[in-house]
Amino acid sequence: MSKDSLTDLHQLVWTALLAATIGAGAYLIVPIGPVPVSMQPLFVFLAGFALGPRRGAMAVGLYLLAGALGLPVFSGGRSGLGHLFGPTGGYLLGWLLTAWVCGMARRQDGTIPWLRGAGFGLTALALLYAAGAAWLKFALSLSWHKAWLAGVVPFIPWDALKLGAALAGARYMTRIGLMPGRR
Ligand SMILES: O=C(O)CCCC[C@@H]1SC[C@@H]2NC(=O)N[C@@H]21
């Protein structure tokens, strides 16, 4: 097998693995209202940081496809198009962009400097909140203020921690040579 095909296979395995971990994170939730605190974003951030923009977004795409087709991978083990386009649909679809923007922190040589990672990560998080809260507002006919209170405020400290953990995790995985190189 050539080195390029091995790299492709390695990337494919990690893409599938990270898609599966996002699904596993859907079972680690704290239901606090229409939007739960969940571990899914940790793995979405990790997919972006560890795989880069294209593969990171592919991992999320794979995850969304699995959920849309009926696998119980959305928060609390839910599934289906009804949930994908339900009140939390803005976060779910927004994760494609989240993973992409986190992935942009990854340099050509695979390194992710702390500051660069934090910059792209926080930008990704702000975009995710904008998509998630705007969708929530229209799905549940909330005021902007209520959408902000239910869809953004309670998550900020936890998501900041998840972002830091994902960044540290991706840097470590890259440093020990666990992540596939670029083609
Ligand atoms: O219904 C789903 O499967 C998606 C849940 C979305 C949860 C959002 S993601 C951003 C924010 N951080 C959390 O921990 N929960 C919300």
Q: Where are the domains of the chain?
A: 3-175
Report the CATH fold assignment for 3-175.
Arp2/3 complex 21 kDa subunit ARPC3 (1.10.1760)
- For the stretch 48-103, pLDDT in tens is 999 999 999 999 999 999 999 999 999 999 999 999 999 999 999 999 999 999 99
Q: In whole angstroms, how far apart are CA 7 and each of 2, 36, 56, 104, 110? A: 9, 37, 15, 20, 14
Nearest CA to ligand 1 atom 11: 155
Instruction: Judge if the beta carbon of residue 88 lies within 6 A of ligand 1.
Output: yes
Residue 8 C-alpha to ligand 1 middle, in angstroms?
A: 30
Residue 91 C-alpha to ligand 1 middle, in angstroms?
A: 6
Rounded Cα gap, residues 158 and 87, in angstroms: 20
pLDDT band at 181 (very low <50, low <70, confident <90, very high): low
- For the stretch 95-146, pLDDT in tens is 999 999 999 999 999 999 999 999 999 999 999 999 999 999 999 999 999 9
Q: Annotate 93-106 with b (16+ C-beta within 10 A) or e (fewer).
A: bbbbbbbbbbbbbb
pLDDT band at 7 (very low <50, low <70, confident <90, very high): confident
pLDDT band at 8 (very low <50, low <70, confident <90, very high): confident
Residue 54 C-alpha to ligand 1 middle, in angstroms?
A: 22
Q: Indicate if the pLDDT at residue 1 is higher than 80.
A: no
Q: Which two tokens stand for residue 114?
A: 């702390």
